[in-house]
Structures are given as structure tokens and as C-alpha cells.
Amino acid sequence: MKETLEKIKSAALAELADKDADLEALRIKYLGKKGELTAVLRGMGQLPAEERPVIGQLANDVRAAIEEALNARLDEAKEAALRQKLQKETLDVTVPGDEAPVGHLHPLTRIQREMEDIFLGMGFSIAEGPEVEYDYYNFQALNIPPDHPARDTQDTFYITENILLRSQTSPVQVHVMESQQPPIKIISPGRVYRSDAVDATHSPLFHQMEGMVIDKGVTMSDLKGTLAMFARRMFGEETKIRFRPHHFPFTEPSAEVDVSCFLCGGKGCRFCKGEGWIEILGAGMVHPNVLRNCNIDPDVYSGYAFGMGIERIALLKYHIDDMRLLYENDTRFLGQF
Ligand code: DAH
């Protein structure tokens, strides 16, 4: 029996030493329930009593030796597998990475900020007002009573009969005058709404920038000088402006303001439709009724106001002929700016 055990041991160790050995098969063969060692141990009952502890001890030693050899091989195999895996997963850090596309500001935002910067440079500050507005601020305080025909061109979305989405940034004028005494010098960019169908020049949501200056002795020449400066900064130093008489209920006198075409210099081209001039905004001297509505004495103070569409400025500046392109968020288009 002793020899059998020794034989099993040396056979097992020899097989385990083979580098191609199937370790699991060997475990079953030698240590498994039906394995060779177990078979020997089962036969122990037939041994004389005094031999049993000696053979038992030997059997345990043999089992321990085989287990130790087996475990050593298993550890080796695990380590080899890990090494192989690590080698396979090695990163070549010199391979160029995937490029992460870097975005930029939307052209409308860029233009709005450019406009803000020009006016901030002339001493204006930025005021904000609500987009959900009372009829009073959007119309009545601006000298547009109920049923006034000027409301027709500014049909908007009503929340109640008295609450609406503002159709212009002009109501910010009223909020500012209500909360602040002159001197006042503000611009107010923001979203406005109108019940217009979408086409190349219309959108139910667009952006305007309002401007207003109120102080003692403010005249139309101040308005002209400010807008002339704005036009030069925005469209180039050669740009001239032109005032055309117009009507707005909240200014008197009122004007529409054109800039000389910055493509043809005023000679007339396709861009300005042969006119030489391009309309960019509405303006005028704040109507005495509007000042009075805001508790500002028109005999002491005067002021001017203007309002322009930010989309319009962006379309002109970037030579875009369809406003919808600004809203579609097609990065092939937006990426050009
Ligand atoms: N709110 C006018 C509009 O949406 C634009 C405008 C015209 C604003 C004259 C003004 C102004 O402040 O004085 O058509």
C-alpha cells in the first residue's frame, strides 16, 4: 500500500510538471471522489489496525503534496492568463484620439452680445423685463389703448384677456421708468412673440433690442448720434444712417432708420434691392403721454427710444436670406459662423 501511495504521488507530480497538463482532469484523476487516492483510502479498512495510522498519515502527506503542486500550477496559469490579458489590452497612447467637436455660440447670441457691447461702450446698461406681460405694459402705457389699430400688426398670444406674451421689448421702457427716475440710459434685449406664420422673414418667437434714454434736454440729435455710432460699429466705419418719417404711438416724432448698404456702399445692389439703403429699426422721441403714464414730467424731461430686431441684424450681418435657418439648429449651417 505504501508503494502504491508513493507511485501515485510520483505519477501525479510528474503529470503535473508537464506544462501542457490539463489541470482539472488531473485534479479529478488524483483527488476526485472516484480518484486514485480515494480508492486507496477506501481500502484502508482491510489493513491491520497498527498500520492504519502510518498509512493514513502517508496518504495525507501524498494528498497534501499533490494539492500543493496542483495549486502552484493553477496560480501559474492564472498569472499567465492575466499577463496575456494585460498585454492584449495595452494602450498605444501615441495613437491620435477621437476628436471631440468644440461648439461655439449661436450666431444670434453672438450678434446680441456684439450689439450689447456697442451700447455698453456708450454708457448704456442692460435692463430686463418679463416675457409674460400685462396688456397695460405691452400696449396701454405705450399710448396704444384698446382697439387702437396699431394692435393689428402686433397680434400675439393671450393667456387671459389682460395677460399676453409681449409683442415687443418696448414695455421694458415702462417698467424701467416706473422703478427709476431719470437720468435713464438702458438697452433691453429679449424674446418677443407674435401670432405670425413662419416664413423666411417671420417667426412667432423672435428677439428685439430696445433702447431708451431719458434726461433733461435730450434731443433727436442725441438719438441720431447714438444710432450713427451704433451703425458704424456694427456694419463698418463707412456706414451712414438715414431717418424716414414714420408713426409709432409711443414716440413723437417717430422715424424708421436705414443704414447705407454695406455691400455696395449705397450705389444699389441685389442685397439692398437696388435701394442703397437697408431698414434696421424704429425710433423716435418718447411720447409725452408715455412719460406721464410713468410719472415723469414731460415739461422737465425728454428722451428717445429705439427698437430693433436682433434676427434682422444677424441676417444682414451674415448675409443670410432665410430667418428659419437660425432656428433649425442644423450644425452644418451653424458651424459656418
Ligand atoms: N416696438 C416697435 C416694434 O416692435 C419698435 C420700436 C419703434 C421701438 C420705435 C421703439 C421706438 O422704442 O421708439 O415695431
Mean pLDDT across the chain: 93
How many angstroms separate the alpha carbon of residue 195 from the centre of ligand 1? 17
The answer to the question of residue 53 being in a domain is: yes
Q: Phi and psi (nearest 5°) for 95?
A: -70, 130
- In terms of domains, do 194 and 279 share one? yes
What does the DSSP assignment read for 26-54?
Answer: HHHHHHSTTSHHHHHHHGGGGS-TTTHHH
- In terms of domains, do 211 and 64 share one? no
Q: What is the pLDDT at residue 320?
A: 93
Q: What is the pLDDT at residue 37?
A: 79
How many angstroms separate the alpha carbon of residue 274 from the centre of ligand 1? 26
The answer to the question of residue 200 being in a domain is: yes
Domains held by the chain: number: 2
How many angstroms separate the alpha carbon of residue 51 from the centre of ligand 1? 116
Identify the band that residue 167 occupies on the pLDDT scale cut at 50, 70 and 90.
Answer: very high
In whole angstroms, how far apart are CA 169 and each of 67, 137, 176, 184, 189? 87, 10, 12, 16, 7
Ligand 1, residue 308: give the atom nearest the CA: 5
- In terms of domains, do 196 and 241 share one? yes
- In terms of domains, do 193 and 235 share one? yes
Where residue 292 sits, what CATH number does that domain have? Answer: 3.30.930.10
| DSSP type of residue 335 | T
- In terms of domains, do 34 and 139 share one? no
Ligand 1, residue 284: give the atom nearest the CA: 13
The answer to the question of residue 95 being in a domain is: no
CB 208 within 8 A of CB 168: yes
Ligand 1, residue 173: give the atom nearest the CA: 12
Query: Any residues with Cβ below 6 Å from ligand 1, and which?
Result: 168, 170, 210, 248, 251, 282-284, 305-307
Q: What is the pLDDT at residue 276?
A: 96
Rounded average pLDDT over 38-67: 81
- For residue 16, pLDDT over 90 is answered with no
- In terms of domains, do 76 and 207 share one? no
Domain end residue (candidates: 44, 59, 88):
88
- In terms of domains, do 255 and 288 share one? yes
The answer to the question of residue 122 being in a domain is: yes
- In terms of domains, do 112 and 47 share one? no
Q: Strand, coil or helix: what is 195?
A: coil
Rounded average pLDDT over 39-64: 80
Share of the chain above pLDDT 70, in %: 100
**CA-nearest residue, atom 5 of ligand 1:** 307
- In terms of domains, do 111 and 14 share one? no
Whole-angstrom distance, CA of residue 229 vs CA of residue 212 = 15
Q: 292-308, pLDDT tens digit by residue? A: 999 999 999 999 999 99
The answer to the question of residue 315 being in a domain is: yes
Q: 240-280, pLDDT tens digit by residue? A: 999 999 999 999 999 999 999 999 999 999 889 999 999 99
- In terms of domains, do 162 and 218 share one? yes
- In terms of domains, do 189 and 59 share one? no
The answer to the question of residue 272 being in a domain is: yes
Domain of 60, in residue numbers: 2-88
The answer to the question of residue 97 being in a domain is: no
Whole-angstrom distance, CA of residue 212 vs CA of residue 188 = 9
Q: What is the reported pTM?
A: 0.73
Whole-angstrom distance, CA of residue 311 vs CA of residue 201 = 9
The answer to the question of residue 96 being in a domain is: no
Domain end residue (candidates: 88, 121, 139):
88
- In terms of domains, do 184 and 295 share one? yes
